[in-house]
Amino acid sequence: MLIGLDFDNTIVSYDSLFHKVALEQDVISHTIPVNKIAVRNHLRSINKEDKWTEMQGHVYGKRMNEAQAYAGAIEFIDRAKQLGHSLCIISHKTQYPFLGPQYDLHKAAIGWIDQHLVMNDKALFSKVDYFFELTKDDKVNRIASMGCDIYIDDLPEILLNPLFPADCTRVLFDPERHHATSIEGEIRVVNSWKQIEKELL
């Protein structure tokens, strides 16, 4: 079975890092929850949308290496490989930030994969196993051309894209439980990597 994985906010959690950077830059107080959306909503509420945009470039670029994998993600990948499944990462991401210093965001993400997605000192993904596309449609086309049997993403709009391959099982990763347990178009909703491992492997 070929299992396709989204990258940002599916494998990688940015909650602690955005919170940390926002505290360093003195744009939030400690009362704001350790949560990316809470940081974003706060900055929007005080009319600092540009600050938020710039912070994204900083976090996804310069500070990328400090981001952490979601609990259980690396164990899931390792277990799936042990069971003989193949895995690939298919993401979409702009190459450079919209605002601020022009970090190469693809390079930062690949550096993170090489450094963090390892088990017993062995890389879990090689160069041929990850794809960073520039648009959502390119991403969905890649999921189709790779022939993924399962694809896991945190964004319903990817799984509901009209180009999404009909024979691929669609799984929504929803750790904060924004969605019901199943949503339109028979998308399966899961809340943790432990659950994905239990139900899909």
Determine the straight-line distance between the first and last CA of the chain, rounded to whole angstroms.
10
Q: Does 154 bind Mg ion (CB under 5 A)?
A: yes
Q: Does 94 bind Mg ion (CB under 5 A)?
A: no
Closest approach, Cβ 12 to Mg ion, in A, equals 8
* Residue 7 one-letter amino acid: F
Instruction: Using DSSP bridges, classify how beta strands 12-13 and 68-69 pair: parallel, antiparallel or unpaired.
Output: antiparallel
Closest to Mg ion by CB, 27 or 175: 175
- How many angstroms separate the CA atoms of 136 and 124, rounded? 25
The enclosing H or E element of 92 equals: strand 86-92
- The tokens describing 71, both together, are 């609990």
* Residue selected from 3, 4, 5, 8 as contacting Mg ion according to rule CB under 5 A: 8
Closest approach, Cβ 29 to Mg ion, in A, equals 28
Q: Does 15 bind Mg ion (CB under 5 A)?
A: no
Closest approach, Cβ 31 to Mg ion, in A, equals 27
Which region, judged by CB under 5 A, interacts with Mg ion, from 76-84, 113-121, 153-161, 188-196?
153-161
- The tokens describing 159, both together, are 């799984």
- How many angstroms separate the CA atoms of 164 and 156, rounded? 11
Q: Does 6 bind Mg ion (CB under 5 A)?
A: yes
Positions touching Mg ion (CB under 5 A) are 6, 8-10, 154
